[in-house]
């Protein structure tokens, strides 16, 4: 059995596949199997792979079930002890798999290691160097738009960016897989948060490099789908992962953060969509199956709650410093 499963979710991403798979074919590390999970595409994605990359294991779903369901199908079908999740709109460097594998193996408590995602269009700029989450209720890509040269050091992060990251299967069995209620957006922050609550770590591995187009499936940076699902999932993420007392403690800051986002998106013409997403977020929190997913308060985790709360506070300043 190979050591690594590379799981690639896809929805009508045919135009990206030649670049993505040609780069995977040049890897220095060869002990991996590629699982391609197709979300009911209407294009030539699967036909292309059958013709040009027949060794790829193709999992075809009958509809578009979103990112979380797609990667979960790939994780379940694979058996390798490590799982790399990779977006279809990427071009990995030749040692990408090797560097991620080495990065997680040398950190015994690592739940995930996030790669260095570099902008495909501006190749001297970072697209994502790991995910942060802060007390304002904002999830953001670390380093976005900054020079690549500023992110050469490995570091702990709040969560890995699931667009290019490796996960330890042993720990996935403890945290559970990606929450399919998320459909798309913040699912990687959610699972990273769950891992942190269990005492695991998430790391940024700068030696594993990949070019990333960005919004390859959803389209533009700001669109109705992305704004609605991001705001919806943010409410759900907070409800699910934070004890009630922590939510109440941070409530004034959450209100400030969500209000600032509302003003921003209203200025872009998306105010109604942002509010609709928040409303839907409260609705899905009331669903019995989602209430059952809420992580219960445990006294033995008290120290972890304080560590995370401090990190959420510090990340407010990190957000504004990165914008400076």
User: Residue 142 above 90 pLDDT?
Assistant: yes
* 44 occurs within a structural domain: yes
* 142 occurs within a structural domain: yes
Specify whether 85 is located in the same domain as 131: yes
* 133 occurs within a structural domain: yes
Going from the C-alpha of 189 to that of each of 19, 111, 243, 301, the distances in angstroms are 27, 13, 17, 19
Q: What span, in angstroms and rounded, lies between the C-alpha atoms of 210 and 93? A: 6
CB 166 within 8 A of CB 4: yes
Handedness of CA 274, 280, 286, 292 (dihedral sign): negative
* Confidence band of 319 (pLDDT split at 50, 70, 90): confident
DSSP state of 295: P
Number of domains observed in the structure of the chain: 2
Specify whether 203 is located in the same domain as 232: no
Mean pLDDT within 5-14: 98
CB 45 within 8 A of CB 38: yes
CB 233 within 8 A of CB 182: yes
* 275 occurs within a structural domain: yes
CB 109 within 8 A of CB 201: yes
pTM exceeding the 0.85 threshold for the entire prediction: yes
Q: Which of 185, 212, 239 is the last residue of a domain?
A: 212
Specify whether 195 is located in the same domain as 268: no
Q: Which of 168, 183, 212 is the last residue of a domain?
A: 212
Q: Which of 212, 240, 259 is the last residue of a domain?
A: 212
- The 3-state DSSP class for residue 71 equals helix
* 311 occurs within a structural domain: yes
Range of the domain at 278: 224-323
Specify whether 78 is located in the same domain as 161: yes
Span 238-256, pLDDT tens digits: 999 999 999 999 999 999 9
- The 3-state DSSP class for residue 167 equals strand
Structure-token pair, residue 230: 């991001």
Backbone Cα Rg of the chain: 19
Mean pLDDT within 133-138: 95
Span 294-313, pLDDT tens digits: 999 999 999 999 999 999 99
* Confidence band of 323 (pLDDT split at 50, 70, 90): low
């Amino acid at each position: 059995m190979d050591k690594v499963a590379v799981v690639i979710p896809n929805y009508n991403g045919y135009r990206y596949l030649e670049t993505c798979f040609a780069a995977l074919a040049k890897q220095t590390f060869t002990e991996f199997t590629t699982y391609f999970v197709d979300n009911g595409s209407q294009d030539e994605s699967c036909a292309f792979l059958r013709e040009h990359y027949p060794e790829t294991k193709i999992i075809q779903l009958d509809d578009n079930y979103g990112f979380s369901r797609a990667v979960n199908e790939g994780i379940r079908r694979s058996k390798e002890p490590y799982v790399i999740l990779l977006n279809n709109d990427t071009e990995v460097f030749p040692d990408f798999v090797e560097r991620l594998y080495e990065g997680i193996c040398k950190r015994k408590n690592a739940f995930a290691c996030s790669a260095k995602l570099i902008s495909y269009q501006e190749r001297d700029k970072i697209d994502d160097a790991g995910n942060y989450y802060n007390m304002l209720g904002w999830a953001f890509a670390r380093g976005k738009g900054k020079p690549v040269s500023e992110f050469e050091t490995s570091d702990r992060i709040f969560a890995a960016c699931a667009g290019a990251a490796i996960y330890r299967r042993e720990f996935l069995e403890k945290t559970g897989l990606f929450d399919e209620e998320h459909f798309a957006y913040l699912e990687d922050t959610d699972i990273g948060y769950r891992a942190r609550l269990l005492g695991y770590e998430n790391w940024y591995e700068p030696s594993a490099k990949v070019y990333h187009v960005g919004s390859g499936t959803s389209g533009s940076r700001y669109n109705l789908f992305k704004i609605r699902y991001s705001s919806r999932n943010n409410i759900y993420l907070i409800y699910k992962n934070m004890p009630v007392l922590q939510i109440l403690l941070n409530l004034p800051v959450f209100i400030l953060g969500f209000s600032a986002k509302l003003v921003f998106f209203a200025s872009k013409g998306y105010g109604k969509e942002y509010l609709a997403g928040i409303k839907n977020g409260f609705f899905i929190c009331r669903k019995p199956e989602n209430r059952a997913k809420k992580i219960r308060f445990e006294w033995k985790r008290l120290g972890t709650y304080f560590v995370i709360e401090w990190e959420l506070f510090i990340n407010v300043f990190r957000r504004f410093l990165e914008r400076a």
